[in-house]
Structure formats: structure tokens, C-alpha cells
Structure 1
Amino acid sequence: MEREELIDKYLQSELTPAEKDQFDNLIENDTTFRKEVEFLKDLNIVAGAEDRDGLRNSLASFEEKITANETKVVPLFNYKKLLVAASILLVVAIGGITFLKPFGVDTNQLYAENFEPYKNVVTPIVRGEDTTNKETIAFTSYESKNYELAAEQFGNLYETTKSAYFLLYQANSLLASNKTKEAIPLLEQHISLEGQLSERGKWYLSLAYLKENRKKEAINLLEEMSKTGSFKNSDVLKLLSQLK
């Protein structure tokens, strides 16, 4: 494999095990190759800096290495052009516009940072209690993190009782089981019923939208929640600031 292609796949985290062995061997034994990799990693840092100060610092370090002739650029690249591009990136970032990061945020990462299954506030579980109550059995499954079983049990409970909160817990069980697409319509239905826990449903629906990269819909829902401030207000405002 060509060295340039090998480096590109490394920067994209796409190396196969065999390519990784080849890459590691070159890094260890080929000084020129190692410097090429270090140079392009520096450029990636410049392009991916998340704040203005970090971007300035990354660019300064990047320029110092070029000035000191500490880097050698792969043949496919011209470092002067890259430096111009990095400088343009700095100007754009200072202007408040995201460049080279068209989506601005990693919605999957934000979902992972914010999601945790909603606590059981409906049916307290008394450990060791012998019961055949279906609601207690479902919440026991839920608290035991047997989410797939809990989702099925909550679904059956909603069908027989039409109690809206069962939709919320069924959807949470599905989210915890990485079944986001199945959870979304349940949360939408839960919110439409305007039950006591509907604000909770909006929070989890906004997170589900993020998981599915439906950023605009997530923002709309979070903005709606921010007006009432009735549930997770600080988390809602923080998430909004990260998305805009």
C-alpha cells in the first residue's frame, strides 16, 4: 500500500490489522515516515480544535514546526498551502463559523454523555417481596437492567391499562437496549398524551433524536423545554449551548 494512503487511513481510524502492522513498522523504523505522520496529525489538530484559544495555540505550534524545519510533508501535500488553509480556518473560527467540521458536534457523543434510564418513580420495589403484580414485575426487570424483557412487559401493561407512563418506561428500556428507532414513536405518543411525566418524555425524545442525528428536531424540543424549565433545566440549557 502507498505510504500516503496508509497515513490517510490511519488518520481516519480505518487501518486493517495487517495495515496497522505495516504502519507500526514504518513508524518504528522510518524517520521520514514518522515525521510525515506527526505533521499531518498536527494539521488534524488544527482543523479539529474546538475553541478559539486552542485553535490559536495549535496553529502557533504548527507554524513553529514548519519554521524550524522539523517536519517533512508527504508528496501529495504542499505545506505552504496547508498553512494558508489553517490560517483561513483561524479567521473563520474567530468569526464564529464552523469550518472543516460541517456538523459542528458529535450527536452520538452528546447522547452517550446525557442518557441514563429514567429512575423508577412509579412503583417502589421492596426487595425480597414476593409478588405477582405485573407492574412490580416489570419495574423489577427494569431496575435489574433486564431492559429487553422490561420493554416487552411495559408494552403489555400499556396495552391493558393505557397508562401513559408505561410508554415512557418502555421507550427508556428500548433506548437502553440500543433500539432508538423503536423508542422514538413511543416517546412521541407519550408526549401527545400529556401525562404527568410528559416533560420527561421530551427530554428522552430529544436525546433519541440526537442518537439518530436528527439535530434540528432535538433543538426544537430542547428549546420548548427551556421555556418551562420544569425538568433538567440546567442540562437542557447546557445541551442547547453545545448544539448551537
Structure 2
Amino acid sequence: MQEEVYIVFEQYLQNEMTVEEKLNFENQIQNDTDLKESFELYKEANQFLKIKFSNETVDFKNNLSLISKQYSSKEANLGKTKVIPINSKWFAIAATIVIFISIWFFMQNGTPEYNDYKEHEKAYFTERSEGNNTLKEAEEAFNAKDYQKAIGFFEKIDQKDFGGEEHLFYAIALIETNQFDKAEVILQLIKEGNSIYKEKAIWYLGLSNLKQKKYDEAKIILETLSDEAEDYDKAQEIIKKL
């Protein structure tokens, strides 16, 4: 399929056409079976890219396989060998399948992203927050993912009311708001101490560097994570991709 046809498909899907252009395109695909089939496949492939690593990935690959078999079967049913011109619908469909399967493999082996691995636990400062409204507000803001607001509350709290857990969640909020230097100072202190959050501090130091695209530093830090750590498997996955 010619490149400009893909561009038209994308313009239609992204709602970048004028009303007249949209009507013309819709009329064209209704009257051109080949074009309609190619467009439907293109839409399916686009949807696949959006769902990325979800369970639907397997279903999509199976659908592509089924489509290929169906088209092969149709050709076989003609009862004779047929020379297919390069601009035919079959070439277009095959080309589309190849393009998106290639993208799938690229995505599977692509550079890991911070957003793919940030799964923060809920803050739960029950004991320490009793009688401390500011700490309770910090907890609620963090759990609502209002990280800037949470930081404001954390910074109003007296340090004597801070434990390892509070420091960890404060550091996470700082990472989320791209205040990396402040976050890493806190995480280093937790890492070098005897806190039960030591492994979590290492994990988030790695994620902080990953978010900054400091891939070598992230890899070095994550390699120090114990194989008994909760996040060990995820860390190994990141290391393998870096």
C-alpha cells in the first residue's frame, strides 16, 4: 500500500479531516471493498499498539494469524495459480501485518520507562497519624496522587514524627514531581541505614534514575537489589532491557 493511503487512514482516525474530506473518505471505503478491508486491519493494528502489553496482545496476534490463513484459503479456492500485482490488497494486508508485528517486537524489547514500573503502595500512617492531622493529610493527598500537595504536608511535619515509612513516601512524591536530588538524598539515607525499607529505597533510587533516563546509573543501582526483595523480578526485567 502506498504511504499516502496510510496517512489518510491516520488522519481519519485522529479526526484531522474536514467534514467534506471525512464524508468523501467514508463514501470511498463503502464503495471500495479492498480499501475498506485494509482500513479495518489498520484500525485493528492501531488498537493493538494502544493496549501494548495487555492480555489482548495474544488475541491480536491470533487474529492476524487467522486473517492470513483466511486470505491464503481464498486464494487456494480459486483453483489456479494467480500472479498478484504488487499494489493489490493482499500485498497491502501482508505489508500491514509485517509492519505491526515488527513494532510489537520492538516494543517488547524497547527501553523500559518509569511509568511502566511505578506501582506505589498506598500510604497508611495509622499509628503515627493519630493526633497528627498534617500527617493524615499527607497520607490522603499521596493516596489521591496529588503529590505536590502531599509534599507540602510532609514538609510541615516535625522530623521527630517521621519514620522510615514517611521518609520513603515523601521521597516517592518528590520523584513524581521531578525533584530528584531531594528524593535521592532521602533514599540514600534509608539505603545506608537499617530500616526495613532499605530494599524499597534501592528500588526507588533505580526508578528515579530511570525516570531521568540515566540508564547506566539505574542499572548499577538495581543490580544491588537483594534477590529476596519484593521488587527483584521487576528490577531484573529492567536490567535485561537496559
Give, as a single letter, the amino acid of the residue that structure 2 aligns with 1:187: A
1:100 positional shift: 3.5
1:119 positional shift: 3.5
Return closer, same or farther for 1:152/1:111 CA change in 2, 3 Å cut-off: same
Give, as a single letter, the amino acid of the residue that structure 2 aligns with 1:40: Y
Cα distance in 2, alignment partners of residues 238 and 107 from structure 1? 12
Count of residue pairs brought into register by the alignment: 210
Return closer, same or farther for 1:76/1:189 CA change in 2, 3 Å cut-off: farther
1:190 positional shift: 1.9
Return closer, same or farther for 1:84/1:204 CA change in 2, 3 Å cut-off: closer
Return closer, same or farther for 1:140/1:16 CA change in 2, 3 Å cut-off: same
**Cα deviation digits, residues 58-82 of structure 1 (max 9, x gap):** 552242354337xxx9889943872
Cα distance in 2, alignment partners of residues 101 and 148 from structure 1? 32
Contact 1:49 1:58 in 2 (8 A): no
Q: Which residue of 2 aligns with 1:221?
A: 221
Contact 2:203 2:235 in 1 (8 A): no
Q: Which residue of 2 aligns with 1:101?
A: 107
Contact 2:123 2:139 in 1 (8 A): no
Contact 2:168 2:186 in 1 (8 A): yes
What are the equivalent positions in structure 2 for 1:111-130 lying under 5 Å apart?
111-112=117-118, 114-120=119-125, 124-126=128-130, 129=131
Give, as a single letter, the amino acid of the residue that structure 2 aligns with 1:101: M
Which deviates more, 73-82 or 140-149?
73-82
Cα distance in 2, alignment partners of residues 40 and 118 from structure 1? 43
Cα distance in 1, alignment partners of residues 204 and 94 from structure 2? 45
Cα distance in 2, alignment partners of residues 167 and 104 from structure 1? 33
Q: Which residue of 2 aligns with 1:64?
A: 69
Cα distance in 1, alignment partners of residues 211 and 236 from structure 2? 15
Q: Which residue of 2 aligns with 1:236?
A: 232
Please, which of 84, 95, 101 is the counterpart of residue 82 of structure 1? Answer: 95
What are the equivalent positions in structure 2 for 1:183-194 lying under 5 Å apart?
184-193=180-189, 194=192
- Structure 2: state its 5+ residue gaps: 76-85
Give, as a single letter, the amino acid of the residue that structure 2 aligns with 1:107: E
Q: Which residue of 2 aligns with 1:30?
A: 29
Cα distance in 1, alignment partners of residues 47 and 66 from structure 2? 10
Give, as a single letter, the amino acid of the residue that structure 2 aligns with 1:221: I
What are the equivalent positions in structure 2 for 1:47-58 lying under 5 Å apart?
57-58=62-63
Cα distance in 2, alignment partners of residues 20 and 204 from structure 1? 49
1:141 positional shift: 1.6
Query: Alignment identity in percent?
Result: 19
Return closer, same or farther for 1:40/1:150 CA change in 2, 3 Å cut-off: closer
Q: Which residue of 1 aligns with 2:83?
A: none
Cα distance in 1, alignment partners of residues 16 and 128 from structure 2? 50
1:189 positional shift: 1.1
1:148 positional shift: 2.9
| 1:110 aligns to 2:116 (yes or no) | yes
| 1:7 aligns to 2:6 (yes or no) | no
- Over alpha carbons, which structure has the higher Rg? 2
> RMSD value over aligned CA atoms?
4.8
1:215 positional shift: 5.2
Give TM-score, length-normalised by structure 1: 0.58
Q: Give the secondary structure class of the aligned counterpart of 2:224.
A: helix
